[in-house]
A and B are shown apart, each in its own frame.
Chain A
Amino acid sequence: MSRIPKEPTKLVTVPSPNKIPERDIDKSPILECQHLGIDFGGLSAVKDFNMAIGRTEIAGLIGPNGAGKTTVFNLLTKVYQPTRGTILLDGVDTHNMNTVQVNKAGIARTFQNIRLFNNLTVEDNVKLGLHNHIGYGMWSGIFRLPSYWREEKVAHERAMELLSIFDMGYLAKYKAGSLPYGAQRKLEIVRALATNPSLLLLDEPAAGMNPSETAELMENIVKIRDTFGIAILLIEHDMSLVMGICEGIAVLNFGQIIAKGTPDEIKNDPVVIEAYLGKKKEA
């Protein structure tokens, strides 16, 4: 296997070394975006977006409000069809796939504004994540054939196992909509994990969490990566989280990547500082 080719990015001023972590260096990337772009009418919301993510990497996507971060997630999961460019998931072009097929191919996500199945129980929410891994059909369900009982039992055990990642097993019987905010965020992550993804997209997982909850979340994200051996791409405004756990970071501004690199490089990159804080007045 060859090394990940360095992406041609126009605006990168700091030549960043490979941002793929060492352990993934000799493997092909799980996700590769090439010249990805989308226009809404005359507005290019995302332009020439290039990115590669290693198989077990925790990567961060940051940028000021309205930079197009969530749009990138929506492109990756085909909520929007990209106007230009290619998305390769584990080397497979997702060009003709829709949201459902992309999920089956291995991308799972959470949402910035939580989207749970509010009227269903916590356990059912996780079982819905397991949906495509439960092996019985409609008729077995209606006539309660042996496969129904067997598969439902397996699904129940698996759901409880997944909930135990966040110690949420005791909440299994409650309605998802009745959970406190932090628990809902965690449940979304569990539901996404249940679909058995190879790439997990987290859209502001720490939003609305207090510092101790955020610290716990950071530990859990790393734990998830280590347990499941998957890649995680996250959008986050909480810099302690991003700088704490991300191995590679891309900074987006006005729909374009303006910098890529390790947390230390990003922290000191003048282009990034300018994007966030504005330009220093000439003395």
Chain B
Amino acid sequence: MSDDHETTESTESDGNSDDPLAERWRQARRITDGGQPAERGRERDQDAPHAFLLEDEDDAELDRGPFQQWVATSISNPKRAYRAMFYTATIFFLLTTLFPFYWLLMVALTPEGQQQDIILTPNGFNPGAFIEVFQTLPFHWYMFNSFVIATASTVVVLVVASLAGYAFGRLEFPGKTPLMLLVLIISFFPPAAFFIPLNDLFNTQFFALEPITGDGTLYNTPGAMVLPLSAIFMPLAIFILTTFYAQIPDGLEDAARVEGTTRLGALFRVIIPLSAPGVATAGVLTFIAVYNEFFFSFLMTDGQPENWAPILEGILGYQGQYEVMYHLMAASSIIGVIPVAILVIVAQEKIVSGLTAGALKE
């Protein structure tokens, strides 16, 4: 190995080289070297005698088999072994998380009645399942219901939690900590503990509700899901918003107040716009949580799309009385995942920051 190579590599590892020749050399080097040019280049930069040692070993290893050579280099350079372990772990995690989705797609693409032994490829090709899903059941209706319920809950949660978050984050008052703890405790209780009286309550006829719901009960209306789901997912939003609102400097709010804004005006015109990332985070998390919820969504309607049954009733609906339509179950599941998958791709930073802010708050 000549000195020429040595210099090329060290300039590259500084990251300043735009020379196409150097780029090609680096690629060639990556192939022969198992993919770690930058790592080794840096090592040489830092520690010249060590680099010499390594090169001597490289020369001596020429007559070994590929695996033995890999082992030998791993021993002389443990970083490589860790790197290899890291890539193995990454690939393992990617396979385990993504494979079920891939397999689901394969089941959906397989024509009805041929669902045996699908592993990597579908038995036949039938993209029509994705249209059949909407023809067999009004799946779009279920999706619409889910969207309405999730959006309405998100709006309710954001408004109510904004007020509470402002109080907890920016105001001092007696009983602040006990009240926050009370909110936290609610998020620990199982929905089952609330469910029986709520079920009674929502099946009770209220005269005031008659013009809205027809028979005066909340059962089979979006309200029967929006109310409990808002209450259950509100604590997380309150904690996220409290964190964000507390970080806005007092001076900004004071300035708005001096200019003549009302207290509520300062909240809605100064604090909330400045905490937009936090509000978006709380909104995305609430939407996903409500969209994914099972318990109330399953029990608070009778499962008919015209009675506001959400998407889960649709997916379970393909398990009909007469036949079980596996390919439609798979296809509808894929369609149901798409909205949250898009949300995760678009808002992943917010999800990460929001979950951690909300959960690590106490």
**A complexed with B:** no
